């Protein structure tokens, strides 16, 4: 029986990315893997390219009709129907850190006999994620913060290319008497590296803070920058970077925060000064304190603003491992074991899986 992947349409109207792009779908088909692709009104890649790659084309939102043994691949936002999930799903579920709705989603897999293979849990033998959007998330998040600080950020965000975004950053430098100062917290990770490159493209040399600086937080130094980029990849609750009291700090120079991590609603949220994510039509949230206001940009789908480049990089990394899902591998066993353990555990935040875990139950047939 042919092993089949089913690329579903994304439910969110602003989600333009694809977990599998046409060029990589062609390579999967060449290896004898069936690829079914749902129609999508907003995906950045034309359906004709998937058809030319040898994919089977089906109606939007028809993944519930897939065979139980088929693997459903998507990025975010599983629809609420059907309730019971019988397939294996490869997706960013955001269900393991205590996020709202996380336990409910896990119970849907339990009810249907399916399994969650969370993309955040696809880690190699050294515990490093094998496929991530982090670099581009950091680049876009820092870019939006800079463009807003320079009063050239559109009030309504729309997708563009990475080249266009870089050009806007360079253009924003012209005619400025001074360069803003910025600090990137979590600068050594994928998100942090992308954020630092965006800031440097804009002519800003950022302060780079890692675990040591965060553990011994110099609050006055942080508040003394114009821009703060939060790129912490927290797996458990962390002390807040900003509090309500900081808004009234007499020495606060900070005026723009780009929250790349955007763990709103989870115990790992490091910026409790705001409680709901930003949106494409309202990307900036204004907080007031004594003196000048503080603006926060916290989007939870940053990479969808440059969907083509972000999707191509991610798809290339993910598709290198999808063939091993057919035969089994430690990578997928670790993700399955993590699901089995946490779907049966009491509700609480959990760390991402590390190497060495082995599944006690094989994937569904």
* DSSP one-letter string for 198-247: HHHHTT---EEE-HHHHHT--HHHHHTSSEEEE----SS----S--HHHH
The Cα-based distances of 362 to 54, 59, 116, 122 in angstroms read 29, 31, 13, 16
Catalytic residue among 4, 89, 94, 148: 94
The Cα-based distances of 256 to 146, 252, 279, 284, 363 in angstroms read 8, 11, 16, 9, 46
4 is catalytic: no
Residues with Cβ within 8 Å of 47's Cβ and at least 6 positions away in sequence, in order, are: 37, 39, 40, 57
Q: What gap in Å lies between CA 180 and CA 182, rounded to an integer?
A: 7
Catalytic residue among 76, 89, 148, 338: 76
* DSSP one-letter string for 233-292: --SS----S--HHHHT-TT----EEEESS--TTSTT-S-TT--S--BTTB--EEE--SSS
Report helix, strand or coil for 90.
strand
The Cα-based distances of 136 to 139, 148, 187, 302 in angstroms read 5, 18, 14, 8
Question: What does the DSSP 8-state code read for residue 129?
Answer: B
76 is catalytic: yes
Q: Residue 3: exposed, middle, or buried by beta-carbon count in 10 A (0-12, 13-18, 19+)?
A: middle
Residues with Cβ within 8 Å of 90's Cβ and at least 6 positions away in sequence, in order, are: 19, 71, 72, 73, 74, 117, 119, 318, 322, 325
Show which residues are catalytic: 76, 94
């Amino acid at each position: 029986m042919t092993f089949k992947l089913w690329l579903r349409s994304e439910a969110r109207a602003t989600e333009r990315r694809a977990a599998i792009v046409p060029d990589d779908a062609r390579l999967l088909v060449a290896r004898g893997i069936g690829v079914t692709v749902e129609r999508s009104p907003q995906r950045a890649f034309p359906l004709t390219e998937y058809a030319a790659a040898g994919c089977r084309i089906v109606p939007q939102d028809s993944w519930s009709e897939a065979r139980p043994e088929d693997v459903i691949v998507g990025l975010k936002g599983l629809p609420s129907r059907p309730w019971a999930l019988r397939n294996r799903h490869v997706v960013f579920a955001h269900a393991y850190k205590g996020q709202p709705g996380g336990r409910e989603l896990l119970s849907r897999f339990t009810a249907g006999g399916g399994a969650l293979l969370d993309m955040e849990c696809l880690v190699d033998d050294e515990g490093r994620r094998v496929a991530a959007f982090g670099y581009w998330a950091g680049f876009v998040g820092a870019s939006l913060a800079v463009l807003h600080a320079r009063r050239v950020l559109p009030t309504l965000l729309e997708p563009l290319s990475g080249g266009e975004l870089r050009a806007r950053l360079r253009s924003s430098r012209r005619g400025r008497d001074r360069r803003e100062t910025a600090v990137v917290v979590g600068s050594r990770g994928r998100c942090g590296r992308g954020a630092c490159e965006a800031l440097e493209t804009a002519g800003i040399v950022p302060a780079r803070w890692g675990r040591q600086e965060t553990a011994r937080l110099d609050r006055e130094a942080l508040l003394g920058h114009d821009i703060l980029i939060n790129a912490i990849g927290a797996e458990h609750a962390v002390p807040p970077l900003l509090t309500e009291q900081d808004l009234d700090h007499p020495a606060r120079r900070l005026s723009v925060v780009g929250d790349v991590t955007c763990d709103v609603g989870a115990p790992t949220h490091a910026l409790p000064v705001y409680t709901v994510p930003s949106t494409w039509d309202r990307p900036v949230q204004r907080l007031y304190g004594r003196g000048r206001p503080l603006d926060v940009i916290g989007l939870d789908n940053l990479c969808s603003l440059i969907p083509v480049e972000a999707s191509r990089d991610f798809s290339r990394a993910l598709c290198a491992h999808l063939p091993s899902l057919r035969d089994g591998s430690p990578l997928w066993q670790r993700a399955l074991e993590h699901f089995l353990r946490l779907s049966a555990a009491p509700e609480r935040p959990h760390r991402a899986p590390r190497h060495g875990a082995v599944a006690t139950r094989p994937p569904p047939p």
